[in-house]
């Protein structure tokens, strides 16, 4: 019984830690403009996809787990590992803001800019419930907006919590 209680406590603690993860967009800083996303944290891992340089200030992947030499990322619907030497990132949470914007549901969608003029925002990626998205954001037309140098990310107000 004691072992079961210890195991349950560890699982709850792990869940609480995961719920506080901070949302970060990633991109490459390599000279050729691409960074391989591999199936394992090694140059021998199969290449699943690539990260591109920040386009107009926004990367094309999401940081899942930061490691010492390799980091786990989500890009183009794939999850894999990238070498940190060529990894750049942008985080919207500084810990200094007045409020926190938090993902309010599991697999909460993040949307990118709509350049078609038809008001259809493309899906950028998803984050788990409880992920801290930002403490620096604005609001407009039913969305919270995370600003970059040019492109922005949009979160539907009904999908997020402000604390």
CA dist 107 and 90 (Å) reads 20
Residue 18: CB atoms within 10 A of its CB come to 12
Domain ranges of the chain: 20-90, 101-162
The architecture of the domain spanning 20-90 is: Roll (2.30)
What does the pLDDT look like over 24-54, one tens digit per residue?
Answer: 999 999 999 999 999 999 999 999 999 999 8
C-alpha 102 chain-centroid distance: 12
Token representation of residue 102? 């938090």
54 vs 158, more confident = 158
The architecture of the domain spanning 101-162 is: Roll (2.30)
Cβ–Cβ under 8 Å, residues 84 and 68? yes
Q: Matching CATH topology for 20-90 and 101-162? A: yes
Q: Name residues whose C-beta falls within 8 Å of residue 2's C-beta, 6 or more positions apart in sequence.
A: none
Mean pLDDT of 137-143: 94
Token representation of residue 117? 């003029």
* pLDDT at residue 145, as a whole number: 96
CA dist 20 and 126 (Å) reads 15
What share of the chain has pLDDT > 70, as a percent?
87
CA dist 113 and 151 (Å) reads 6
CA dist 101 and 136 (Å) reads 8
Q: Which residues of 64-77 are buried (b: 16+ CB within 10 A; e: fewer)?
A: beeeeebbbbbbee
Sheet holding 132-134: strands in order across? 132-134, 101-103, 160-162
């Amino acid at each position: 019984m004691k072992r079961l209680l210890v195991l349950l406590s560890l699982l709850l603690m792990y869940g609480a830690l995961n719920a506080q993860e901070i949302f970060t967009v990633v991109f490459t800083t390599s000279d050729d403009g691409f960074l391989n996303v591999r199936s394992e944290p090694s140059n021998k891992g199969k290449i699943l996809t690539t990260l591109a340089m920040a386009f107009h200030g926004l990367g094309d992947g999401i940081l899942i787990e930061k490691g010492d030499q390799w980091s786990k990322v989500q890009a183009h619907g794939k999850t894999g590992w990238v070498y940190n030497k060529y990894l750049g990132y942008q985080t919207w949470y500084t810990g200094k803001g007045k409020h926190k914007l938090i993902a309010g549901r599991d697999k909460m969608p993040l949307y990118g800019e709509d350049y078609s003029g038809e008001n259809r925002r493309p899906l950028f990626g998803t984050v788990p419930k409880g992920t801290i998205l930002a403490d620096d954001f604005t609001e407009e037309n039913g969305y919270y907006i995370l600003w970059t140098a040019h492109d922005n990310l949009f979160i539907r107000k009904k999908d997020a919590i402000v604390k």
